[in-house]
Structure 1
Amino acid sequence: MKKVVLSIVMVLALTLSFTSCRETKEKTEDTVENAEKAADDAANTVEDTAEKAKDAAEETADDLKEAGEEMAKDAKDAVDGAVEDAKEAGKDAIDKAKKAGEDAVDKAKEKGSKELDKAADKIKGN
């Protein structure tokens, strides 16, 4: 009887050991699968983040390029405006100088004419 009881205990112990090992193996396989999924998810997240960073950098570069072009256009417009203002100021100065010269010539003619008339009157009066 002792042998039978010991045999039964031994069989139960072996059964529990095999069951326990089987469960451990299944848990290990689940853990490995979960770790693989987590690694894949992490890799995908890194890829997505890198792609977003690249897109943001490209967008920033485009924005900077557009801003530079806009600044260049504004600078060109400012220079063109300054050139036009300088041309207009030069034209106004020339017109004023021309008018002053014409006024001076007219005054000189008028004065010369008066002096000529005086000289003619003096000749007639003599």
Structure 2
Amino acid sequence: MSVSISITGGSSVKVNWTNGMNAQQALELAEESLKEEFIYSLEYYGKSLGYLVNMINETYDTFKSTSTPYFYWEFLVNERPSPTGIDNTILNDGDKITFSFKTYDTSCVSDQIMAKHNRRTV
């Protein structure tokens, strides 16, 4: 039983899945497994969103920037944007987590990213 984690254009790894595991726990196992090939940073966005990834392998999102374009780490579970942060996303055996560095576009962005951007620009 496992969960796969991949970074578009970067590392990928399978980690052992356990019942009740969330995506943050899976990332912690991936970091332990890949050592120096995979590092990440999180930022807390309150109880409704939880923790969102703001850096992977020294590539940071740019929502704190005052100039456009903005970039963010899209968090996908089974090829779909997650509506919650990594600590609130419970995984199932066989799930696939993907992180992809994307340009922020208000016309086609998940609720999670819109809330993240709005919180930083208010």
Considering the TM-score relative to the shorter chain, is it more than 0.5?
no
Task: Output the TM-score relative to the length of structure 1.
Answer: 0.12
Task: Output the TM-score relative to the length of structure 2.
Answer: 0.13
Which one scores higher on RCO, CA 8 angstroms, separation ≥ 6? 2
Structure label with greater radius of gyration: 1
Task: Give the number of the structure whose residues are more often strand, by fraction.
Answer: 2
Task: Give the number of the structure whose residues are more often helix, by fraction.
Answer: 1
